[in-house]
Amino acid sequence: MQKHFPYKLYLVISEEACLHHHFLEVAERAIIGGVDIVQLREKNASTKEFQQKALRLKEVLDKYNVPLIINDNLKVAKQVEAYGIHVGTSDIPPTQIREKWKNLACLGYSIEDNKQFNSEEFKTADYLGISPVFKTPTKTDTIIEWGLSGVKKIRSSTDKPLVAIGNINTTNAHQVIKAGANCLAVVSAICAAKCPTLAAEKLRNEIEKL
């Protein structure tokens, strides 16, 4: 059964991506501007550091009832009682995550390749990350660039919620939504902004505009 996924603006945050403010301040300001789900992505932290950051972030998010997703690390996700976890093809497979985390609310899985369609891993995911829609300097170990045509193609082959990621900004946000994405995920458009509230507000306006 399809899970409810009402989120539209997804902040993927790390301490190092936040150029002008502390990451906890960026998260809070972004939520005030319209972010409604947050993923903590700390690729270089130890499990202990990751867990500490996640707990501090969760405290902020809980004030606003905004769910926390943990990138890659199942142990941290379970320890901090996150809402969910996001994994890609190089991570623990979604089917194994389901076995190890029985009451998991939200499992995100990156779609990088046509071959993943309708695999067991694909089927068990609660949302799909379109990885990437546009090439981005923030993450360079990607395979293809789906583009708007790729978003449309994925939309036509599944009813699962689609989260678009990769170089999403105010100039392309509306088109990506029109192509069929349910939600936009960003790192630099918010983390590198001088005013994360305004940056989030502008993205949200693009998402909501008809």
Ligand X SMILES: Cc1nc(C(=O)O)sc1CCOP(=O)(O)O
Ligand Y SMILES: Cc1ncc(COP(=O)(O)OP(=O)(O)O)c(N)n1
Binding site for ligand X (CB under 6 A): 12, 41, 110, 129, 131-132, 136, 138-139, 142, 165-168, 186-189
Q: Please identify, using beta-carbon distances, which residue of 39 and 51 lies nearer to ligand Y.
A: 39
The yes-or-no answer on residue 29 being catalytic is no
Burial of 133 (0-12, 13-18, 19+ CB in 10 A): buried
Which residue type does 86 have?
H
- Taking the C-alpha atoms of residue 57 and residue 179, their distance in angstroms, rounded to an integer, is 32
Minimum distance of ligand X from residue 131's CB (angstroms): 3
- Taking the C-alpha atoms of residue 200 and residue 155, their distance in angstroms, rounded to an integer, is 25
Please identify which of the residues 78, 135, 139, 155 carries the catalytic annotation: 139
Is the Cβ–Cβ distance between 125 and 137 less than 8 Å?
Answer: no
Q: Does the annotation place 167 within a ligand binding site?
A: no
The yes-or-no answer on residue 110 being catalytic is yes
**End-to-end Cα separation, the chain, in angstroms:** 29
The yes-or-no answer on residue 139 being catalytic is yes
* Both structure tokens of 159: 């009813």
Q: Does the annotation place 43 within a ligand binding site?
A: yes
Minimum distance of ligand X from residue 32's CB (angstroms): 20
Q: What is the DSSP letter of 136?
A: B
Q: Does 12 bind ligand Y (CB under 6 A)?
A: yes
Q: Does the annotation place 39 within a ligand binding site?
A: yes
- Taking the C-alpha atoms of residue 141 and residue 125, their distance in angstroms, rounded to an integer, is 22
Q: Does the annotation place 139 within a ligand binding site?
A: yes
Minimum distance of ligand X from residue 146's CB (angstroms): 9
89-148: which residues touch Mg ion (CB under 5 A)? 91
| Polymer length of the chain | 210
Binding mask 61-100 for ligand Y (x = CB under 6 A): ----------xx-------------xxx--x---------
Q: Please identify, using beta-carbon distances, which residue of 101 and 134 lies nearer to ligand X.
A: 134
Q: Which of 28, 72, 126, 206 binds Mg ion (CB under 5 A)?
A: 72
Calculated CA dihedral for residues 92, 96, 97, 103, nearest 10 degrees: 180
Annotated binding site: 39-43, 71-72, 91, 110, 136-139, 187-188
